[in-house]
Structure 1
Amino acid sequence: MDNRTGEIEAFLRSVEGGSFAAAAKALRQTPSAVSRSVARLEARLGVRLLTRTTRSLSVTPEGEKFRVQAQKLLLDLDELERSFTTDKSEPRGRLRVSASTPFGIHRVIPVLPEFLQRYPKITVDLSLTDALVDLVSERTDVAIRHGALRDSSLRARRLGSSRWLVVAAPEYLQRHGTPQTPADLDRHNCLNFNYRRTIEGWTFRAGQRSKQFHVTGNFIANSGESLRLMCVGGAGIARLADFLVGDDVRAGRLVPLLQDHIKADSEDIHALYIGHARLAARVRVFMDFLVERVSIAD
């Protein structure tokens, strides 16, 4: 990477991470080196891109305009390099992957060593977050996401689906009793997510229809894995995906509840990627690997 693209990368990483220290960690540089790169970029452009304080960075209006164009530039450079990659060449380069925290922990990470053994020249840059990721702005190659797909220019490969389960630890049920109907959840401590979801509340069957029940509790989190651990610890009742808590149910650490009332639906899981006329070899082989090793049987 030449000096100019290196400076642009330093700027973009600083904006994404909110600090030179975060950018330095991502780029494997020192914070002072990242700061100098951004300063050189600002000097060459003749504008201030970032406002620095002792605690944080903020993007100036000029910096935001430059950020949008710089992201597009780097994506175009990536695409240019991909266009010269032949199918016979060994897949290589940095592969940026985003996955939800529980799916990443329970499904993706366990098989990544095998993938890296197959393709030793690929470097996997994995980010686990339950928040939605903009593949273009975050320069992400593959994002594994759950639920209905939004209309977009992204392409997707389906990895399967996972049904919802309402679960609690045996210890919790011994102390507080077992709910027999969804209405009984009003008297229980329900663990929930702290971010806005497509459907608010927990969905149960009401005759031939479905109904959302509002639940409350004294613990909320942005990660399904956090909710699972709290649930196993006896803190309350949670509604989580089968792929996340299935092993706990089979081991007796969690007990499924209200099964006659659970709406018989499931949540689709897809691997999303930006569609190009020619897909980079590293992305193509990773997508094939996900379908082979990570897919969930319906």
Structure 2
Amino acid sequence: MKEISEMELFVKVVEEGSFSSTARYFGVTPSSISKQVSQLETHLCVRLFQRTTRKQKLTEAGEIYYQHAKRIIEDILTAKLAVSQLSNSPAGNLHITAEVDFALAFIEPLLPDFLRLYPDINIRITMSAGLADIFESGIDLAIRMGHLEDSSMIARKLMTSHSVICASPQYLKQFGIPQRPDELAQHNCISFKTQSGEITWNFDDSGDIKCIPIKCRTNVNSLTFLRNLAMANTGIVMLPSWMISEQLKLGQLVPILESFPMLPRSTPIHAVYAHNRHLAPKVRVFVDFMVDRLSLK
């Protein structure tokens, strides 16, 4: 432990910029700080500072030692915090953002059990599909569908979603059942869309990727809205299987083009939180709870 103490003192000298400033911080004399640094240099068999009457400048060896020592001190502090959190009871306000359809399908039915398990956690849920700058708004956790690209955040997969092309029996009876993806051009399609630009549905055609442009009279950023339109015989829709499982079971919607798998074949759904080494217990227990419960579905 003496070597750790020496590292902490050395790092503090570098950050304070002088022996006298470091001495004031620790409540000792500058000569005491100088003596301890000299002992460290003797122990390492290198000179860490170029000393002048007014200031100390790091040598090349000192620069190298400082970078490693600083990282070690940070890791020790992180380890102490991680261990202390194990004994902390999760508590506080947990602000979650999730896309509305996912929240209604999965968070709403599971939330009562979570609240019973963790009576000291208060939940606030914001319905949103955006990801930019969410953590600047005081949001602790975001649940997002799709592949993530922002490496500044940590993502833990909750589940995997699979897309289904389907329509109502009445629509298919009136307009026919497409046998190949390119026949979708002859049909009215309805699609999920949040941004401008061409919509394409991608299919695996015996190993070949078929990118089919979709002409839609209706685009909307709500899965529930799309499902209801399809059930009202409006057209062909692509939806996640979890969104329409009941309607498929009851025959209210019928899957089509099953010989041509959608690409990508699956879409991950993640719990996303800031790249913070000190993960709050309230966030950790909620993510663990969702992973555990969704694995049973």
Judge same fold: TM > 0.5, yes or no.
yes
In the alignment, structure 1 residue 168 sits paired with structure 2 residue 161:
no
CA shift, 1:223, in A, is: 1.3
Contact kept in structure 2, 1:108 and 1:294, CA below 8 Å: no
2:185 maps to what in 1?
186
Aligned pairs for 1:83-122 within 5 A: 86-122=85-121
Cα deviations by residue, 1:238-288 (Å, 9 ceiling, x for unpaired)? 111112122221221111110101236111111111132221111011011
Give the TM-score taking structure 1 as reference length.
Answer: 0.66
For the 8 Å contact 1:166–1:256, the answer to whether it is kept is yes
1:160 deviates by 2.4
Residue in 2 that maps onto 1:126: 125
- Computing the radius of gyration from Cα coordinates, the structure with the larger value is 2
- 1:294 aligned residue: 294
The reply on whether 1:224 has 2:223 as its aligned counterpart is yes
Instruction: State how far apart, in whole Å, the 1-side matches of 2:113 and 2:132 are.
Output: 26
Residue of structure 1 equivalent to 2:249? 250
Tell whether the 8 Å contact from 2:188 to 2:236 is kept in structure 1 after alignment.
Answer: yes
Equivalent residue number for residue 157 of structure 1: 156
Shift of 1:162: 1.3
C-alpha distance in 1 between matches for 2:133 and 2:198: 21
Corresponding position: 1:285 with 2:285? yes
After TM superposition, the score normalised by the length of structure 2 is: 0.66
Give the ranges of 4+ consecutive aligned residues of structure 1 lying more than 6 Å apart after TM superposition.
none
User: Residue deviations 1:118-160, cap 9 Å, x none?
Assistant: 1122121112223334332222111111221203221111112
Cα displacement string for residues 176-226 of structure 1 (whole angstroms, at most 9, x for unaligned residues): 221111122112110112323999411112331212211123221111221
Secondary structure in 2 aligned to 1:124?
A: strand
Q: Which deviates more, 111-120 or 193-202? A: 193-202
Per-residue Cα deviation, 1:49-93 (whole angstroms, up to 9, x for no partner) = xxxxxxxxxxxxxxxxxxxxxxxxxxxxxxxxx99x844343222
Q: Which moved more, 1:279-288 or 1:126-135?
A: 126-135
Q: Distance in 1 between matches of 2:285 and 2:153?
A: 18
Partner of 1:150: helix, strand, or coil? coil
CA distance in 1, matches of 2:157, 2:296: 9
- Number of the residue aligned with 1:215: 214
Matched length? 216
**1:197–1:144 CA distance, 2 compared to 1 (3 A):** farther
Contact 1:159-1:296 at 8 Å conserved across structures: no
Select between 215-224 and 198-207 the one with higher mean Cα deviation.
198-207
- The 1:200/1:217 distance shift into structure 2, 3 A limit, reads closer
Structure 1 alignment gaps of length 5 or more: 1-81
Instruction: Give the whole-Å Cα distance in 2 for the aligned partners of 1:224 and 1:212.
Output: 22
Letter in 1 for 2:145: H
Q: Which amino acid aligns with 2:164?
A: L
The separation in 2 between residues aligned to 1:197 and 1:278, in whole angstroms, is: 39
Q: Which amino acid aligns with 1:271?
A: A
Tell me, which stretches of 5 or more residues in structure 2 are unaligned? 1-80
* Residue 204 of structure 1 pairs with residue 200 of structure 2: no
Q: Equivalents in 2 of 1:183, 1:257: separation in Å?
A: 13
CA RMSD of aligned residues (A): 2.5
Secondary structure of 2:216's counterpart equals: coil
Aligned pairs for 1:42-57 within 5 A: none
Instruction: Give the match's secondary structure for 2:262.
Output: coil
Aligned partners of 1:159, 1:209: CA distance in 2, in Å?
30
SS in 2 for 1:214: strand
Instruction: Show the counterpart of 1:272.
Output: 272
Which stretch of structure 1 is more off in the superposition, 191-200 or 98-107?
A: 191-200
Q: Is the 8 A contact 1:192 1:219 kept in 2?
A: yes
Alignment-mate amino acid for residue 172 of structure 1:
Y
Counterpart CA distance in 2 for 1:286 and 1:278 is: 15
